[in-house]
Structures are given as C-alpha cells and as structure tokens.
Amino acid sequence: MEKWKFQGNQGLKSSAVSVRGVFNVLMQSISKEKEVVHLCRVDPTDNPLFSADPVAAHAVSTAAHSGNFNGYPPTFGLPQARRAIAEYLSRDLPNKLSAEDVYVTVGATQAIEIILPSVFATPGANILLPRPGFPQYETRAALCGLEVRHFDLLPNSSWEVDIDSLEALADDKTMAMVLISPSNPCGNVFTYQHLKRVAETARKLGIFVISDEVYAHIAFGSNPFVPMGVFSSIVPVITLGSISKRWILPGWRFGWIATCDPHGIFQKTGIAANIESYMEITNDPPTFMQAAIPEILERTNDEFYSKNLDITREAANALYERFKEIPSLICPHKPDGAMAVMVQINLSQIEGIADDVDFCVKLAKEESLLILPGVIVGLKNWLRVSFGLERSAIEEGLNRLKAFCLRHAKMSQQISA
Amino acid sequence: MEKWKFQGNQGLKSSAVSVRGVFNVLMQSISKEKEVVRLCRVDPTDNPLFSADPVAAHAVSTAAHSGNFNCYPPTFGLPQARRAIAEYLSRDLPNKLSAEDIYVTDGATQAIDIILPVFATPGANILLPRPGYPQYETRAALCGLEVRHFDLLPNSSWEVDIDSLEALADDKTVAMVLISPSNPCGNVFTYQHLKRVAETARKLGIFVISDEVYAHIAFGSNPFVPMGVFSSIAPVITLGSISKRWILPGWRFGWIATCDPHGIFQKTGIAANIESYMEITSDPPTFMQAAIPEILERINDEFYSKNLDITREAANALYERFKEIPSLICPHKPDGAMAVMVQINLSQIEGIADDVDFCVKLAKEESLLILPGVIVGLKNWLRVSFGLERSAIEEGLSRLKAFCLRHAKMSQQISA
C-alpha cells in the first residue's frame, strides 16, 4: 500500500467540531414518530408567515437580465451598494456614514471571517466575547490564533453586560470586544444608557467595539433598537449587518462591515488598511446581487417591516407565556428582540437527565422536538429556544416540551403538578 | 490623546501587498491621454463579443422569484447543484463523480481559501508552479503553509519541470498545484504529460490540486484533459468555476471536486477536514445554486464553440503581432486559457530597469496596461491577456510596438 504524506489539519477540526458534534448527536437522535418541530434554528424562512418582499426578487432578476453585472465586482463592493448601505445605516446615526465606510460581504458570516484575522492576529492579542454568545466568533478566533476571553451577560438584569467582569478581563493585549445587539441567543434589546456605558468602558480600556447587528430593528418590546454607531464619537465601532433577518433573505448571503469612526482612529491605527488588504484576497457577493441592493434597501417599506415584527412579537409572547407553565424551566427575561431566548433548566426538579445535552437528546428522541443545548452558546444547562416559527408550531412545540418535563419531573414535583 | 491598544495585523499585509502594491503603482501611472487599453485582466466580460447565455439569467431569476430558495443553503451545497456539477464533470472522466464528491464555493477564489488551510499541518509545504497565480502564495502564507516553486519550462510548451518538482519534495510536502489549462502561460498540457505528473505525484506520496478554472478553454491542437482522468494514479482535487467558460465571473460560483476512486481522502482525513471547514465558511446564494442545474445542462455546444472561436482569433492575432517586436519573445503560441507570457529582452532595450518599470512607463506613455511578470513569479516577463476583442488587441499591440521601438537600443533602432 502506498504511503501518502498528507493528512487533515487536526487543529482545524477541534474548534468547529464541538458545536457541530453536539448538533450531529441531536440530529441522529430525532425520532420520526411525530412531525419534527424545530425550535433550534434562527432561519426566518422557517416561518411560513414570513415571506420576502417581492421587491428583492424583482431587483435581483432585473440586474441579472441586464447583463451589465456579469463582470468581477470591485474589491470593496459595487459603489451603488456601498452608498445605499451607508445611507440606510445613516438614517439612525448622528455621524453619517459614507460609501467608503462600507465593505460588502458574503453574509455576516464572512464579515466575521474578515474582521477577526484582518484586525487581530497580532501575537498574544485577545478579544472579549459575550457569554452566552454566537459560537462562530470562538471558532474563527481559534483559527486565527486570537485568544478569547468571555464576559458575562447577566440573566437577572435583562441580559445586560457585566461591566465589572468586562473590565477585569481586559489587559494590555485586549484589542476589542464583541456585542451582539439585539442579542442572539438571549433575545434582549439593550437600552441607550447601557450601550453608552459599554462604549465608555471600551474607551477607558482603549479597545473598540464590534457590534454584531444582524438582528437590527428586530425589537418588538419597549426598548427601541439603538445602533452602537450612535456612540462612535466615544469609541470607534465596527458594525456587522446583513439582509438575512429583517428582509427574510438568509439564503442570499449578503452582509456588510461598516466602520463608524468619526475621529478616524481606524485609519490612524492601520485597522482600515488591514480590512482593505484582507478584502483584496477574499471572495465577494455576486455583482448582480450587489446591484440589486439599493432597490431592496430603498423600496422595501415600513409596512413589510412592521408586519413581520408583529408576527415575531406574537410568537415570542406565546412562547414566554407557555414557559410559565413549566416549573422546571426558568425564563429570566421576556424576549423583546432577535429570534431566540435563553431558558435555564432547573435540574433539581428533574430526574434521569444529566445535563442540557442529555435533555435535548432525549427530547429529540421522545418528542421529535429540537432545541439547542445551551453549552453550544456558552451556558451549560440552559437551552436556546427559537421563536422564529408560526404560532401554531410554537404551541405544539411547547406542548411537547411541557409533557417531556412533566414526564421527567422528580416524583415530588409530579405529585404537586 | 487617548491610547488605543489595537493595530492592524502586519503579517497579513505583507503577502497581499506586493501584488496589490505593484498593481496600484501601475494604476497611478496611467495616462488618460488616449483611451486605456487593458491587456492585464482576465475578466472575459471585458470582451464585448462575449455575452453570457440568456439561460443563466433566466434560471437565476426563476429561482429568485419562486421564493423557495431564500433559506440558508445546506453546508456543502444544494443537492441538485452538487449533482449537476458531478454529472457535468463526469462527462469527461472515466471514474464518475457523485454529488457527495462536490462542494460548492463562492467562486474558485473561495475554493482555494478552503482547500489550503485544510491540509496545512505544522511544517507542511506545498509545491506551486512558477509562473503561477498569486492567490495561492498569499493564501498559503496566511495559513502557515510553506511554499516551494517548481518551474514551468518556456521552451517545452510550459510543461512542468519534473526534475525540479522531484527535487523540491520532501517528507513534509503534502500536495502540488497545477493550473490546467495554464494561467498565465496560455498552454494546454498533453495527456501524456499530465499522466507523467500524476505518476510523479504518486511516487512522491502527494496529491494534485488541479485548478481547472479554464477547463475547455483549449483552442489549439491539444484537447483539454481533466486531471481527474488520472485519479486512480494519484488522488486529485479539482477546482472549477462558471467564471470563464460561461462568462459569469461576477456570479462568484465555483466548486471543489474530489476525484478519488480509491477513497484516499477519506482514509487520510482530508475529506472530513474539508467538510469541517465548510461548516463555518460562507456560501453562494441558495437561489443561485438552484439555477446551476439549468445552466450546466441547457447551455449548448454552440455557445461554447462560438466563444472559443473568438478567443482563438484574439490569441492568434496577438501572437502574430508579437513576432513584429524583436525585444519581446513569446516562446509558446497560446492555445488555451486567456493570457500568455512574453519575455522582455532587456539587452535590446535601454532606459528601462525591469518589468515593473516597463509596465509603468507603458501605462504612462501609451495608456496601455500589461501585468509585470514579477507578479506571477517571473521577473522581466510580461503577462498579456487576450480576453479582448480583436480590434482592442490590434490597438494594444500597435502601441506596444511603438513603445518598444521608442525604447529600443540605438543599434536596434537603426536596423528596425
């Protein structure tokens, strides 16, 4: 037998595998006895009540048919796309953005891929990430040799940032912090005051803020959505966004990096030049899709946005109300944003279940219900429950969840239930 | 003034900057006195005679309007796209590919971005062709993969210098890259030569990455032979895209295909690694993936051969005009891809230091853009694109000839 000298890069597998591994175990456990209910994904197209605005398909179709956009796109994006995104974001910002502040990416997924290595991988650097958070940050940081430190989000304070833990973690090698705002997986919308405080803390620590605003404007409670860029004169901000959630177009894979930096600090520190260098060598969204962006951003009207917000609010409220009926699950914060919520498992009220992964595996097996174990997002023995579904699916899912919890309740609880 | 603790990653800039830096200097030198002629790019849409087949826009438009493809795509690609690509590639392969052998990517650009880190084990090295395509060097540097260059031989139709290949390889060599048909050389490798390359790879215990972005762009006497034909000799990873043959570079759609009948990629963990890495990378839009079957299946041979005729005519015109310029040597008449390598005979020129200087002055004096060979690995050569309509080529070569005459050494000028 020949000797082959190549093998897979083991370092590559370790970071991604933990998330994927848990997910695969779940997938393999699903019983097909009932129709599967997915309360684990945050793909808005899962909800049949959501549909994209027809403007989008029309715009992209026109661009494709024109034949004018089959050439390679310019490195940072088509000028009209950059301009349209700058104008769209500037509606909510005191310091207006220009087209040069915007870089188009293949979804926010690629925005993260570009920002972390291009900015950070100086030897020994570290980045502060929220816990619970979005595991792609951890994975991508590991791949580019960036040390990760986690600050806590406080379940009993509407999932606000634990500012003390943030300050205690930072040192001379800390370069930036990430905030997902509105929050996935917690489902909260940060207040103006709190975001201002985070900005001031970042400035004090000499770090900048990466504000992951993929769920921008998905705020259906009493707190309005406030973009971090509002505080960019306090601290420079890199905002990540995409058309996945608000426009119900996750499959289009279109997003952006926006530098909110009125004092030009990213220029002076070489960060902007690095983003641009890295973008020279990375791939891009299709040119004809970029050409459709102005129309999508400008012509989709408020009615589309508010209708979808109503649907999301109704689903989130229904979910929260149903959780109240399940004593072994604690939902510390009523969701008012994004598309998922964190719920704690009170293991002392349950028997025969070791942890959150075990809970979710058995749930998949016994009830054909899929929920994400919290360990995947950084909080063991919690659950991330999505509400991006129509109300009937949520009711069905919560019925099954309640039955499961009852079935596994400690005997004392079962008698009193 | 506040103290900010962050700064750009200097390591990142060094590898990309040399290519981009040279290119920027060129761009800044262009005189607008005449209309700029670009013989520097390999974007087929630069040629007004080329247009995409209407099937493409129709297919993608239908998919977008259906509303069925707005969801996140599956990790390795929509099954129907994977299947269509497998069937399309299998037309020319003895060992048929299945959908599971195909991973869809955001252009071949992303295919390279995915493949290289996948086997970048500590201390590993990869063999790259010189001249070549600088994205390989850049991406290798970014993932800590050592690069070693083997030569392509200008006087042997740009074939691989097999001896130099063998001499370079050691225990830590994991793979070699071949761009076939060749960018920037413009040649199409023969069946016999590719077989010999495959046998050498097997002997060295390495696999072949065959960059076939220019697959079927072969308009001379050598037919295009996919490296996958030899996959029972050495396992092959084939990279491809719809950029060149379908005139759709702006769509950013490509693929990685594993041609591996003996399952060696499975056994060595490479396949699992590709799949792990693809879990966390971005994807082409779902609705575009949905359009791929129609694009691959319904576009007919007439579209392909018409475009090939246009390319052949442009390449021949270019080659003939080069014969008129004594200070430029074109060792191989282009018969594939979209660019050709031409050597500057510096002994016949004065006042020009090297290829970069040549190109800067050319941009300044003639508003003509040609790529200096140093960018692709051969100093004092030029990469000249023929992806333009014939009139632009004639105009470009007229200016080039005038430039070379103007800068010819006095002795040459007298005899010209």
Q: What is the interface pTM, i.e. ipTM, of the complex?
A: 0.89
Residues A399 and A323: beta-carbon distance below 8 Å: no
pLDDT at B33 > cutoff 90: no
Residue reference for tokens 């998949």: A364
Domains, chain B, in order of start with CATH, read: 10-51+302-407 (3.90.1150.10), 54-298 (3.40.640.10)
Question: Which residue has 């509303």 as its token pair?
Answer: B67
> Residue A212: what are its φ and ψ, rounded to 5°?
-85, 100
| Cβ separation A274–B172 shorter than 8 A | no
Helices (H), B169-300: 191-204, 264-267, 270-279, 286-298
Whether B358 has a pLDDT exceeding 90, the answer reads: yes
Strand partners, B362: none
Residue of B nearest to A16 (CA): B276
Q: Tokens 């969701």 label which residue?
A: A335
Interchain proximity A12–B117, CB inside 8 Å: yes
* Contact at CB, B119 and A175, closer than 8 angstroms: no
Nearest Cα to Cα of residue A256 among A211, A315, A206: A211
Q: In 3D, which of A58, A15, A2, A49 has the Cα closest to residue A299?
A: A58
In this prediction, residue A413 carries a pLDDT of 54
Backbone φ/ψ region at B88: left (φ over 0), alpha (ψ -120 to 50), beta: alpha
One-character DSSP codes across A66-91 = HSTT-SPPPTT--HHHHHHHHHHHHT
Q: Could you tell me which of B164, B231, B156 has the C-alpha nearest to residue B199?
A: B231
pLDDT, one tens digit per residue, over A199-220 is 999 999 999 999 999 999 999 9
Cβ atoms A214, A226 nearer than 8 A: no
The strand pairing partners of B151, in sequence order, are B130
Instruction: State which H helix or E strand residue A369 sits in.
Output: strand A369-370
Contacts of A273 in chain B (CB under 8 A): 8, 13
What is the reported pLDDT for B18? 63
pLDDT score recorded for residue B1: 42
Check residue B414 and give its pLDDT: 55
Nearest CB to A250 within list B51, B65, B71: B71
- Is the pLDDT at B88 greater than 90? The verdict is yes
Residue B297 β-bridge partners: none
Q: Select from B4, B41, B55 the residue whose CB has the most chain A CBs within 10 Å, as the one to mutate to test that interface.
A: B4
Sign of the Cα torsion A94, A96, A102, A107 reads positive
Long-range (24+ apart) CB contacts under 8 A made by A29-33 are A29/A361, A29/A362, A29/A364, A29/A365, A30/A364, A30/A365, A30/A368, A30/A370, A31/A364, A31/A365, A31/A366, A31/A367, A31/A368, A32/A368, A33/A368
pLDDT digits (tens, 9 = 90+) for A290-347: 999 999 999 998 999 999 999 999 999 999 999 999 999 999 999 999 999 999 999 9
Burial of B237 (0-12, 13-18, 19+ CB in 10 A): buried
* Residue A148: closest CA among A174, A172, A185, A179: A174
A335: closest CA among A183, A188, A209, A170?
A188
pLDDT (average), residues B16-27: 72
d(C-alpha A224, C-alpha A221), whole Å? 7
CA distances to A45, A59, B83, B218 from B215, in Å: 37, 32, 19, 8
Per the prediction, chain A carries an average pLDDT of: 92
- For B117-142, how does the pLDDT look when each residue is reduced to its tens digit (9 = 90+)? 988 888 999 999 999 999 999 999 88
- Cis amide bond preceding A155, omega within 30: no
Instruction: Tell me the percentage of chain B whose pLDDT exceeds 90.
Output: 80
Query: Cβ contact (<8 Å) for A281 and B135?
Result: yes
Instruction: List phi, psi (to 5°) of A194.
Output: -70, -40
pLDDT higher than 60, residue A121: no
Distance from CA of A225 to the nearest CA of B (A): 25
Sort residue A51 into left (φ over 0), alpha (ψ -120 to 50) or beta: beta
Strand pairing category for A126-131 and A174-180: parallel
Residue A96 backbone dihedrals phi, psi, to 5 degrees: -65, 145
* A119 pLDDT above the threshold of 60: yes
b/e burial code for range B153-171 (CB count within 10 A of at least 16 → b): ebeebbbbbeebbeebbee
pLDDT attached to residue B302: 92
pLDDT value, residue B66: 94
Task: Give start and end residues of each alpha helix (H) in B210-337.
Answer: 264-267, 270-279, 286-298, 301-322
Strands (E), A199-320: 208-212, 237-242, 255-260
> How is residue A93 annotated by DSSP?
-
Q: List, for residues B235-251, the tens digit of each pLDDT value.
A: 999 999 999 999 999 99
**Cα nearest neighbour of A11 on chain B:** B121
Chains A, B: CB contacts within 8 A come to 250
Distance CA B213, CA A137 (A): 32
Residue in this structure with the two tokens 């006497």, named with its chain if needed = B221
Report which DSSP code applies to B122: T
Higher pLDDT, B236 or B31: B236
Q: Chain A closest CA to B265's CA: distance in Å?
A: 8
Identify which of B138, B202, B252 has the shortest CB distance to residue A286: B252
Collapsed DSSP state (helix, strand, coil) of residue B403? helix
For B263, other C-beta atoms within 10 Å of its C-beta total 11
Contact check, Cβ <8 Å, A9/B273: yes
**Using one digit for the tens of pLDDT, what is the confidence trace for A143-155?**
888 999 999 999 9
Mean pLDDT score across all residues of chain B: 92
Interface test with B, best of A144, A281, A304 (most B CBs within 10 A): A281
Contacts of B67 in chain A (CB under 8 A): 51-52, 57
Q: What is the dihedral of CA A143, A149, A151, A155, to 10 degrees?
A: 60
- Interior angle at CA B300, CA B298 and CA B305, nearest 5: 155
Tokens read off for A281 = 């060598």
Planar angle of CA B112, B117, B123, nearest 5 degrees: 130
Q: Considering only CA atoms, which of B43, B19, B30, B35 is closest in space to residue B249?
A: B43
As to burial, measured by CB atoms within 10 angstroms (0-12 exposed, 13-18 middle, 19+ buried), residue B100 is: middle
* Bond from prior residue into A94 cis (ω within 30 degrees of 0): no
Report pLDDT digits (tens) over A347-382: 999 999 999 999 999 999 999 999 999 999 999 999
Whole-model pTM: value is 0.91
Give Cα B111 to chain centroid, integer Å: 12
Percent of chain A with pLDDT over 70: 94
As a whole number of angstroms, the distance between CA A229 and CA A211 comes to 8
Q: What confidence category does residue A283 fall into, taking pLDDT thresholds of 50, 70 and 90?
A: confident
Grade residue B25 by pLDDT with cuts at 50, 70 and 90.
Answer: confident
User: Nearest-CA neighbor of A256 among A218, A208, A297?
Assistant: A297
Helix (H, G, I), strand (E, B) or coil at A277: helix
Neighbours of A304 (CB within 10 A): 18
pLDDT tens-place string over residues B156-215: 999 999 999 999 999 999 999 999 999 999 999 999 999 999 999 999 999 999 999 999
Say how many CA atoms lie within 13 Å of B317 toward its Cβ: 20
Alpha-carbon gap, residue B297 to A178, rounded angstroms:
45
pLDDT at A1: 42
- Tell me how far the alpha carbon of residue B146 is from its chain's centroid: 20
**Would you say A177 and A210 are in contact if contact means Cβ atoms under 8 Å apart?**
yes
What is the rounded distance in angstroms from the CA atom of residue A369 to the CA atom of residue A404? 10
Q: Which residues of A touch B40 (CB under 8 A)?
A: none
Q: Read off the pLDDT of residues A86-107 as tens digits, 9 standing for 90 and up.
A: 999 999 999 999 999 999 999 9
CB contact under 8 A, B12 and A71: no
A107 torsion bin: left (phi>0), alpha (psi -120 to 50), beta (else): left
- Note the pLDDT of residue B32: 83
Between CA B192 and CA B200 the distance in angstroms is 12
| Statement: residue A415 has pLDDT above 70 | no
Q: Cα(B195)–Cα(B230) distance, rounded to whole angstroms?
A: 6
End-to-end CA distance of chain A: 65
- As a whole number of Å, the end-to-end CA separation of chain B is 65
Query: Which positions ≥6 away from B192 have C-beta within 8 Å?
Result: none
Q: List, in sequence order, the alpha helices (H) in B299-354.
A: 301-322
**Number of separate helices (H) and strands (E) present in chain B:** 14, 14
CB B381 within 8 A of CB B47: no
User: Is the pLDDT at A414 greater than 60, yes or no?
Assistant: no
User: Comparing C-alpha atoms, which of B121, B130, B411, B106 is closest to residue B282?
Assistant: B106
β pairing state of B125-130 and B146-153: parallel
